[in-house]
């Protein structure tokens, strides 16, 4: 099991294996200097050594899969309101739904307030232009 946690003293986010937990509100951190060495320790769920230090944490997310926890880490870096709790559909990241609007098929005549339907031209059809007549404009219907 992998956890997305915030180390509260350092204000840092990290994905760690659950074996690194030290009680309910603390987690251990390895003394490695290289970030690649730390990532390998996380992926391999390395057991903590005696020289690992304990730091206070706040748990943000749990997952059985490392990659899911890493994705949540990317989201959490931009957002601070991730929910704590076991993995389920409510905790999944969802894209906002696209709102589709129906196109306007009507035009209003501003002089007398009447609504006039607009004839839509299908692709490839040619619509002759409106012509001016002494009595007014003539447009094909």
pTM exceeding the 0.85 threshold for the entire prediction: no
Q: Are residues 54 and 86 in the same domain?
A: yes
Return the pLDDT at 52: 92
Q: Are residues 36 and 70 in the same domain?
A: yes
Establish if 98 belongs to a structural domain. Answer: no
Mean pLDDT of 74-80: 76
Residue 116 to residues 49, 50, 105, 110, Cα–Cα distance (Å): 79, 81, 9, 11
Q: Structural domain tally of the chain?
A: 2
- The partner residues of 17 in beta bridges, in order of sequence, read 2
Establish if 101 belongs to a structural domain. Answer: no
Whole-angstrom distance, CA of residue 5 vs CA of residue 19 = 13
Q: Tell whether the model's pLDDT for residue 43 goes beyond 50.
A: yes
Return the pLDDT at 56: 92
Q: Tell whether the model's pLDDT for residue 3 goes beyond 70.
A: yes
Return the pLDDT at 73: 86
**What are the pLDDT digits (tens) for 104-133?**
555 555 555 555 555 555 566 666 667 766
Q: How many residues does the chain have?
A: 141
Q: Are residues 67 and 133 in the same domain?
A: no
Establish if 7 belongs to a structural domain. Answer: yes
Which contiguous run of DSSP H or E holds residue 13? strand 12-17
Q: Are residues 85 and 110 in the same domain?
A: no
For 45-58, what is the HEC assignment?
A: CCCCCCCCEEEEEE
Residue percentage of the chain with pLDDT more than 70: 59
Cβ-contact 138, 131 below 8 angstroms: yes
Residue range of the domain that includes 8? 2-91
Look up residue 93 and give its two tokens.
């990241």
Look up residue 72 and give its two tokens.
């949540």
Q: Are residues 8 and 60 in the same domain?
A: yes
Return the pLDDT at 133: 67
Q: Are residues 47 and 116 in the same domain?
A: no
Q: Are residues 14 and 83 in the same domain?
A: yes
Q: Are residues 121 and 58 in the same domain?
A: no
């Amino acid at each position: 099991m992998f956890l997305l946690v915030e180390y509260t003293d350092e204000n840092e986010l990290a994905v760690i294996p659950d074996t690194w937990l030290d009680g309910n509100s603390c987690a251990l951190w390895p003394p490695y200097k290289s970030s690649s060495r730390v990532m390998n320790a996380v992926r391999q769920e390395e057991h903590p050594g005696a020289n690992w230090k304990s730091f206070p944490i706040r748990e943000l997310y749990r997952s059985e899969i490392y990659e899911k926890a890493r994705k949540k880490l990317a989201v959490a870096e931009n957002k601070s309101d991730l929910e704590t709790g076991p993995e389920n559909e409510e905790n999944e990241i969802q894209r906002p739904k696209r709102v589709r609007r129906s196109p306007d098929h009507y035009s209003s005549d501003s002089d007398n307030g009447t609504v006039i339907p607009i004839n839509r031209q299908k692709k490839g059809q040619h619509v002759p232009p409106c012509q001016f007549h002494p009595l007014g404009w003539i447009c094909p219907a």
